[in-house]
Every structure is written in C-alpha cells, then in structure tokens.
Structure 1
Amino acid sequence: MGNGQRPLLGSSFDDDREIETLEEFDQVVARRGSLAGHRVQSVDLTGRTLALLSSDATAAAFLGCAMEPDATAKVRADGALVFPPIPDLPFDPYRGLLYTPDELFDGLDDGGYENTPDALAYDWFQLTKADRDIYASMLRALHDDAVSDALDELLDGVPVVGVMGGHAMSRGTDEYAGAARLGRALARTGLTVATGGGPGAMEAANLGAYAAPHPDEMLDEALELLAKTPSFTPSVTDWAAAAFEVRSRWPRGGDSVGIPTWFYGHEPPNPFAGHIAKYFANATREDGLLARCTAGVVFLPGAAGTLQEIFDNATPNYYESRGEPTPMVLVDRAHWTERLPAWPLLRSLAEGRAMETRIALVDSVDEAPGALARLTAAARPAG
C-alpha cells in the first residue's frame, strides 16, 4: 500500500520468493543470509548496500529497485536480473502492492484532483495511447501484470462477492442508499466485497463495506453528508473530498476491494475501497474482477457495462463441468425483465445445466443477501 503496509486480507508470504517491502527484505537477509532466487519489487535499497554486497543474489530479479552503483554491479555479477526504475512516470510499473485511496488521491487538498497521481496517470495513458508507443504499451503491461499479482496475493483464500452496477447512480438517491446497505450486509457476513471501483453503485457498495464495523447510524449520517455532493461531475475534487471527510470522521472502516481502470479515466476511483487494483487494460480488469468473485455476484440495475458483466459471468458458469458455478443474483425485476430483459435470456441459457440452481432474480436490493445465501447453500455438496 501507499504507506508500505502489507495487506491484511488472507495472504501468506512466508513461503514465497517475492519481497515487496523493506521490512521483508531485512527479514529475508536476516533469516537466510541470501537473496538467491528472490524477486524484489519496487523497494528502495539505497540504504541496504552492505546487505546486498554480502548476500548471494544468484538468479534473483530486482524490479524497479533503487540501488547504489556498487550494489547494482555486485548483484549483476552474481547473475541477478536488474530492471532499473523508470524515471518521469506518474506510476510504478513494478509495484508489488495494490493502491490505497490516499496514494491515488495524494495532493487532492493542495492542487485538486487534476494534480493527483490518479489523474496524472490517466493523462499519461491518453497521450501514449494516441502515440501508439510500444515502449509505453510495454510499461502498461508490466504494471497491469504486477497489479494482478498483488490482487491474487491479497485475495488468496478469501471469499469474495462482487457487486456490479451503473456508474450513474447518484449519491442522495434511494438506489444509492440501497446499494450501500447491500455492501454493509454482505461485509457483515464475512465476505469481502469487490466492485468495479468507480462511482455510483460501485462506490455505494464499497461505502457499505467500509461502514460494516460501525454502528448502523454511521451509514445514515455518511449518506446524508455525501448527498451534498451527488456526483463526480462537475468537480471530482469536491466529490472525492466529501468521501475523505467521511473516512476522516469515521476512521478504521471495513476493508473492500475496488478494481477500476484508466480506460474509463474520466470516472475516478472511489475512496471507500481500502485496496484498489487499478488497470490500464479494461479487458484484463473486467475478466479479473469477475474471476475473483468466488462467492458470487450481485448485479444491480445498470446499462451496457453491467449487462456485459452479467453474460461475461454467465459464460464460465454455462461451461462449468464440475457443478460449481458461482451464484448470480439480479436485483430489480422490472429492470432485468422489461427495460433490459437479461433475465429471460439468462434463465433460458441456464435451463438444464448446473447453473440453473445458481441464479436468482429479486425485486429489491434488501432481498439480495438472503438470495445469495440460499444459492450458496444450494451449491454446497450434501453432507
């Protein structure tokens, strides 16, 4: 994370070879006296020259690690691969940990959103995408692969439930409040809530998960405060500042995950997800989000993006041969049968297959947690 802390969700790092913090580096050197075969990601090692000079670095890889020249020469002589830091980039392509809201919105209070790392990374993406620079595309690919690796580590063994829905849902609406209650209810059952990480329904679900450890009244007050800034337009700065005010007033909120993309960079990430896996490639982000929702997905009313996510999730469920498709709950009968009739098609697709007992349509958002629990129970083997 931006503060150098390891994630607290279900990861175990005792038996792997990745070093992602200075603390881990010191522990490995002290315990093993060797860095052989290790991968060190984006750790400033300028103060660890003696340790580098005295440790075996055979077959190690140093990804974006600042080192003194003699230390660099020594580890290369050992046979290590050294990928130097890339200057003048608004992001770290070798990062070992996911983003935090504080990291992406750094400088919000001083220069506004336009000067934050999140906005600067989007500007860089727009410029290099237009130039079709293969060097820039390589850096984007390195970054996204590193983010995927960090996300896998964070969620290893963790039951994840996805909440999908439209970005246009405004703060201050009944729909937004309902999505927040949903996120809170799911988090209180012990599930880790994951969303697309943006505004609207996604922000509401992350907000609900953030509110889960607090008394119920906290969410009501937070919703009232946020309603004063309904949307990220016309000012992302004001929209984000309202979210950080909530976080400041009620610290130590619950954890959740946001998986946004700079492909839709005009939509900022929401600050309520404690762990943010932000990608340049939207296809990688979409596939990774759904694939990691091991405990099911709840689909709130949305438009084209949410509709695509329903069938992106249905496809692996349709072809699931082991009888273990993930539960899918669609919320708002009128929306999914009349406005965008995805439910009849989904039901027809599921007929006669294992996924038939893993899909549900409910009228209101408050019914979704119970429906998900029933589908999950049905998915468990008898006995």
Structure 2
Amino acid sequence: MRRTHGRVIDVDSLADFDGRLRSGARSLDGWRLRGIDLGERGAELRSLEVSGALFLGCLLRPEDGESVRSRGAIVFPAIPDVPVDTYRSRLYRPEELYDDADYLRSTDARVYAWSQHENSTDTALAQALHDHSIGQALEEWRQDRRLVGVMGGHSTGRGTPAYADGARLGQLLSRTLTVASGGGPGAMEAVNLGGYLAGYGERAVTEAVRMLETVPSFVPSIGDWARAAFEVRSRFPEGTDSLGIPTWHYGHEPPNVFASAIAKYFRNAQREAILLEICEAGIVFLPGAGGTVQEIFQDACENYYADESSTAPMVLVGREYWTERHPAWPLLQSLAKGRPMEEHVHLVDTVDEAAAVVQER
C-alpha cells in the first residue's frame, strides 16, 4: 500500500483494494483507483462511501458504474485501442520502453507510431490524460531529491570528447544532486550515463564510453544503439538514480537507457516547461543547436522575472561556442544586467568548472 500527498491515495491493483478493505477502510474519499478490474466487487462498492473517489480506467459493471457516479464518485472510462496506460501512476523504466529486441516492435516505437497515425478525439484525450498522470508520478518521484538539469544537443556522438565531457559532468554533479536531462541521445545520454555511474568512479566512465563508441549513434539502428547501452548497464549493474524527460513528439530522438526514471510525454512544450521548472539546483547548458538555445532563453525568462530567492544558476559551458559560434552569452548577459539573476548566470570553459559553480550554491 502506498500513499501520496495529503488525502490522495493511489490504488493500482485489486490486491491493494482488497487489502485496504480488510484493514477497515469504509470511505474511498481521496482514492485514485487506476486500471483495476472491479467487475466482481459490486457488493463491496455498494457498501462503501465513494464520494470524492476517482475511478481511472477501471472495469466496472454498468450498474456499478452508475451507482458510484450517483453517489459522488468520478469515473473516467478506459479508452480502447491505446498502446499506453493513460492512468499510469509511475514513471517509465528503460526496460518498459525497450521491451522487444526488435526496436520497431517495442513499446516506445509502437507508441510513437500510434501518436503519428491516430487523429481522433479519443487519441487526444488519451495523450492528455497520460501526460497528466506522468506529471503526477514525476511530482512523487522527485520528493526528497534535489535536481540539477543538463541541456545539450542530441547529435553528440559516443566516443567524442564532447560526449566524454557530458559523462564526466553527470558523474560530478551526481555526487551531491540528482541529474535530470531531456532523456534523449547525445549529450543527454552522456549526462545520464555519468549519473548512472556516479558510484563507480572515473575509470568506470572511461570503460563505459569505450564500450559505447562501437555504436556511435542511434542512426541507422536504434536497436543496436540501445543494446550497447544495456550491455554497459549489465557490466555496471548498481547504477545511481537519474531522470530523463524525453518526448514522443520527436520520433528521431529515442530515450536513453541510463536514466533510471523516464518521464516521457507526448506534448513537447509541456515536457520542456516541466524540465526547467523542477531543476531547482540550476541548469547547465552544454553546446547544442536550436533546441538548446531555446531552452537557454526559456530558463532566462523564468529567472528574469524571478525574485532573488527563487533564481537558479544558469551555467553555459564553452566560452568560444556561446560567444562566437552561437552567441547566446552576450544577450543573456545583457538581459541579466541589473536583475537579481545577474550573479546567477555563468560562462565557463570546462565541465569541472560548471559542476563547481552549481555545487557551491
């Protein structure tokens, strides 16, 4: 049995439901019952106070559904022919998304294909309910964790110096914080890899990067790319927790398997806003292109209007990159001038410097 905040109680199995009734529960006020077959529990439901309960995708006999609705419960029916659990109460694990040796038959690929080819009211509702549920699960997962975000490009290849830097950064930050990334390939994978290996030491990171560089990219084969990562996980099975927040909006960005918890969304805008919002220890920006630049100024906007107490560090890594190649730094500096955020924006040359800035706060 488990409980979330306040009076909200998540009930995800028939065994949990029965156990609570045996323990004396007589009111379902505040309960969220998810995906349970209650077809044989009509008598019990009629004997309970159900006002304030949420039945999310549960199987109910028609008369039982009408009964609980008439007595104050809210019933959201299961949506047919949907490849995701729209009411799931936990974040994804890598093994759930990569549940078939052939990537095209995996849950991750099937959900993406469904999201691109289905265009109906039921599809839109299922996606919205799913993303809402993921948001609630993420809120629960991040309790008692202090998150630091790392943004960077998806095209950073395994085996490159930039990839090694990302992995080192993830390991350094994970000494005191929990790393969060966009959950995809490239720099995002590197950071989650470093976070995963936080308890193993620097030699493990070097070995893991060497193992991975045999499959430098998810192109042309996502399956080969993922298998190489799972081999690293088998070599180093005691990984440290980190978070990935990818999206099905981009079919070309498969989720990396080094994030122990994956909050995968359909809506990319929602995913990006949440990633920025939850990283209260600050965000480090590795070199990237359009998406990373957008994230810099999304974060800058939040800090621009924030007061001193809620301003989080922004650290751009790569002086030449952010002043010459993609000169985001001069604009960020000018925005910050005279604002509470001014002392919280930093430009550094190395990932070691970036980790030191964040961990000094």
TM-score range, shorter chain: over 0.9
Indicate the residue corresponding to 1:381 in structure 2. Answer: none
Is the deviation greater in 158-167 or in 37-46? 37-46
Indicate the residue corresponding to 2:171 in structure 1. Answer: 184
**Structure 2 contact 158–212 (Cα < 8 Å) conserved:** yes
- 1:98-117 equivalences under 5 Å are 98-107=91-100, 109=101, 112-117=102-107
- 1:1-383 equivalences under 5 Å are 13=4, 15-22=6-13, 25-26=17-18, 28-29=20-21, 30=23, 32-45=25-38, 51-52=44-45, 54-67=47-60, 72=65, 74-76=67-69, 78-107=71-100, 109=101, 112-128=102-118, 131=119, 133-189=120-176, 191-374=177-360, 376=361
Q: How far apart are the structure 2 equivalents of 1:361 and 1:26? A: 57
Instruction: State percent identity of aligned pairs.
Output: 52
One-letter amino acid of the structure 2 residue matched with residue 19 of structure 1: D
Residue 49 of structure 1 deviates from its aligned partner by 6.0
**Structure 1 contact 28–34 (Cα < 8 Å) conserved:** no
Is the deviation greater in 55-64 or in 225-234? 55-64
- TM-score, with length taken from structure 1: 0.87
TM-superposition CA deviations, 1:249-279 (whole Å, max 9, x none): 2213111111111111221011111111111
Number of aligned residues: 359
* Inter-CA distance 35–274: structure 2 relative to 1 (3 Å threshold): same
Residue 227 of structure 1 deviates from its aligned partner by 0.9
Q: How far apart are the structure 2 equivalents of 1:235 and 1:47? A: 46
One-letter amino acid of the structure 1 residue matched with residue 72 of structure 2: G
Is the deviation greater in 211-220 or in 230-239? 211-220
Is the deviation greater in 207-216 or in 72-81? 72-81
Is the deviation greater in 329-338 or in 207-216? 207-216
Q: How far apart are the structure 1 equivalents of 2:240 and 2:36? A: 28
Residue 63 of structure 1 deviates from its aligned partner by 0.4
TM-superposition CA deviations, 1:107-146 (whole Å, max 9, x none): 2x2xx11111111111111112xx4x23322221111111
Give the alignment's Cα RMSD to 1 decimal.
2.2
TM-superposition CA deviations, 1:132-179 (whole Å, max 9, x none): x23322221111111111111211342110000000001111111110
- Gaps of at least 5 residues in structure 1 are 7-11, 377-383
Residue 95 of structure 1 deviates from its aligned partner by 1.5
Residue 226 of structure 1 deviates from its aligned partner by 0.8
**Structure 1 contact 196–258 (Cα < 8 Å) conserved:** yes
- 1:262 aligns to what SS in structure 2? coil
Residue 328 of structure 1 deviates from its aligned partner by 0.6
Q: How far apart are the structure 2 equivalents of 1:14 and 1:54? A: 26
Is the deviation greater in 299-308 or in 41-50? 41-50
Q: How far apart are the structure 1 equivalents of 2:67 and 2:93? A: 34
Residue 51 of structure 1 deviates from its aligned partner by 4.9
